[in-house]
Amino acid sequence: MLKSMEHLRLGISFFKQGCRAAGLPVLHIFHAGAAGAFAPQSGFVTPLPWLTSVPDVRFDKHTHNAFTDTGLDLWLRRRSIGKLIISGIRTEQCCETTARVGADIGYAVDFVTEATLTFPMTHAVTAVTFSARDIKTRTELVLADRFARIVDVNTCLAGLSGHA
């Protein structure tokens, strides 16, 4: 698994290049809120500095998943897209929730944990701190074979060869 922001940057860059080479659209989805750090006017709702390529389309979401209020489902269905490949930030929050909702509404989902990012979290009651690796492992556990196929970047890209 990728262990640092630099590895994440390299993994996502390699991943996006592979999707583009296969002729697949690349979408950016950002969380946008009414106030605070997620408000568009805050200046923080932007791609990470190394995410420089222009997406085929950008959606701004106001919930944890990418479907509820974005028009994403309609956009995908109008293009007869039935499979999602999910990567991004935060593994257990936006990425996992999007995978669950996507599977529930009929999409096949590849979850590329290697190309997701999260941060350690401390349980409010037990004070146990879960590492990013712990959180990613738990996310894979609850998604696998129920909501998504868990794949690494190379396995996902190898499966795209027939889509170009």
**Whether pTM exceeds 0.95:** no
Tokens of 107: 């999409």
Angstrom distance (rounded) from CA 26 to CA 58? 9
The predicted-structure confidence for 40-99, as pLDDT tens digits, reads as follows 776 666 766 667 678 899 999 999 999 999 999 999 999 999 999 999 889 999 999 999
Angstrom distance (rounded) from CA 138 to CA 13? 25
Tokens of 14: 């390699």
Burial class (CB in 10 A: 0-12, 13-18, 19+), 82: exposed
